[in-house]
């Protein structure tokens, strides 16, 4: 019984290590692609930080505007069609 459990655990560990290696590889590829695309757009590290700062400030403002209940709806994807239409009209 112990040998069977040990073998099963070893198999799971091996599969996990393979998945982890694949995920690390995918992350590296995505980082490289993002860097290439940002370079093509002429966005350097400083500009990228500025854009992210602006984005997060907007997100904080939305949270204050909509409140915690609205943010919970946004996070869970539970939002009425009316609220979505209202949000879209506010963004335009």
Q: Do residues 6 and 33 share a domain?
A: yes
Q: Do residues 14 and 37 share a domain?
A: yes
Distance from the first to the final alpha carbon of the chain: 64
The pLDDT value recorded for residue 92 is 47
Q: Do residues 30 and 66 share a domain?
A: no
Q: Do residues 12 and 26 share a domain?
A: yes
The pLDDT value recorded for residue 56 is 87
Q: Do residues 30 and 57 share a domain?
A: no
Distance of CA 73 to the CA centre of its chain: 17
Q: Do residues 37 and 2 share a domain?
A: yes
Taking residues 8-18, report their average pLDDT: 95
Q: How many domains does the chain have?
A: 2
Taking residues 55-59, report their average pLDDT: 84
Range of the domain at 27: 1-42
Per the CB < 8 A criterion, the answer to whether 28 and 20 are in contact is no
Q: Do residues 19 and 51 share a domain?
A: no
pLDDT digits (tens, 9 = 90+) for 76-86: 665 555 555 55
Q: Collect all residues with Cβ–Cβ distance below 8 Å to 73 and sequence separation of at least 6.
A: 79, 83
Q: Do residues 37 and 56 share a domain?
A: no
Cα 70 from Cα 76, distance rounded (Å): 10
């Amino acid at each position: 019984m112990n040998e069977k459990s040990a073998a099963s655990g070893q198999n799971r560990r091996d599969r996990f290590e393979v998945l982890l290696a694949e995920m690390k590889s995918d992350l590296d590829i995505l980082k490289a692609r993002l860097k290439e695309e940002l370079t093509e757009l002429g966005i350097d590290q400083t500009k990228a930080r500025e854009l992210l700062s602006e984005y997060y400030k907007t997100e904080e403002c939305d949270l204050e505007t909509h409140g915690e209940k609205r943010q919970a709806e946004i996070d869970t994807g539970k939002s009425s069609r009316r609220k979505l239409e209202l949000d879209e009209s506010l963004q335009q």
